[in-house]
Structure 1
Amino acid sequence: MRQAHGQLTIPTRGAGLVEVTDAVAGWLAAQRIADGLLTVFCRHTSASLLINENAASAVRRDLERYFQRLAPESRDYEHDDEGPDDMPAHLKTALTNVSLGIPVADGRMVLGTWQGLYLFEHRAAPHRRTLALHVIGD
């Protein structure tokens, strides 16, 4: 049994989904672990992770619009230390994931045909987000 850990820094352009499948797959391939479990962890409270369809861009747009309606910017939030998108970003993170566990077989993530990994930026301004990566296996 072996394990490896590392991190990726992902630039965002502001609110929206950023596909990180290829970046994570590249890191995983470099670890040379054939079978095991990969953990991807987002080290932020206003960004999150999703596994979702990566074939139709309409899926991403619909998800982004849905979460905007679910947790809109508003002056009704008590927490607005960093602006009107601050608390909605925390709510969106709470409703999604900051950690994903993904099986690894033959050195690759076991994802469905149309599945991709996404960093979901919830803040309006561009950021540099850090993903912590850990794989354990043989």
Structure 2
Amino acid sequence: MWAQHLLTLPPKPRGFHLITREVVAAVPELPEIHAGLLHVFLQHTSASLTVSENASPDVRRDFERYFDRAVPDGWADFEHTLEGPDDMAAHIKASVLGAAMSLPVRQGQLALGTWQGIYLCEHRGRGGPRRLVLTLQGAG
């Protein structure tokens, strides 16, 4: 089976946001898959995706603090500044973390670990809605 859906997430503030529930809800065929993969692709260059700790909000805040120090907004050596001081920093953060992931599906569910969740990493102060292409493949 193959299925594909477009998920548009509403604008979120800068930060690391759990979106596992939204992703699962957007793929109604998921319960039919015994073994397969869900590919998640983010159609943007200033936000990213990652999998990490899903229980403690401290983890999400620590991610944000780390990346803000590693790649600060408005670094004087950035040339790409037409869209504001957070634009080039957002592109770099997004490139480091990535725009896509493939997740295993097992017995109708994402086979994430107990403490794992999917994050949308918003690197802009005003990123706007974010589109994800969700492609499910697998056998029932």
- When the two structures are superposed, what TM-score results if normalisation uses the length of structure 1? 0.94
Is the contact made by 1:11 and 1:126 (CA closer than 8 Å) also made in structure 2?
no
The AA in structure 2 aligned to 1:121 is E
| Alignment correspondent of 1:97 | 98
1:3-59 superposed Cα distances (whole Å, 9 cap, x missing partner): 00011111233211121100111223x113232011000100000001000111100
The AA in structure 1 aligned to 2:130 is R
Q: CA deviation at 1:126?
A: 4.4
Misfit runs of 4+, over 2 Å: none
Residues in 2 aligned to 1:122 and 1:60: alpha-carbon distance in whole angstroms: 13
Q: Identity over the aligned pairs, expressed in percent?
A: 46
| Alignment correspondent of 1:82 | 83
Q: CA deviation at 1:120?
A: 0.4
SS of 1:67 mapped into structure 2: helix
Residues in 1 aligned to 2:50 and 2:2: alpha-carbon distance in whole angstroms: 23
Aligned pairs for 1:1-138 within 5 A: 2-28=1-27, 30-31=28-29, 32-74=32-74, 75-138=76-139
Root-mean-square deviation over aligned CA pairs: 1.1
- When the two structures are superposed, what TM-score results if normalisation uses the length of structure 2? 0.93
The AA in structure 2 aligned to 1:37 is L
Is the contact made by 1:12 and 1:121 (CA closer than 8 Å) also made in structure 2?
no
Structure 1: give runs of 5+ residues left out of the alignment: none
Structure 2: give runs of 5+ residues left out of the alignment: none
1:68-121 superposed Cα distances (whole Å, 9 cap, x missing partner): 001101232100120100100000011102111100011100000000001101
SS of 2:2 mapped into structure 1: strand
Is the contact made by 1:12 and 1:18 (CA closer than 8 Å) also made in structure 2?
no
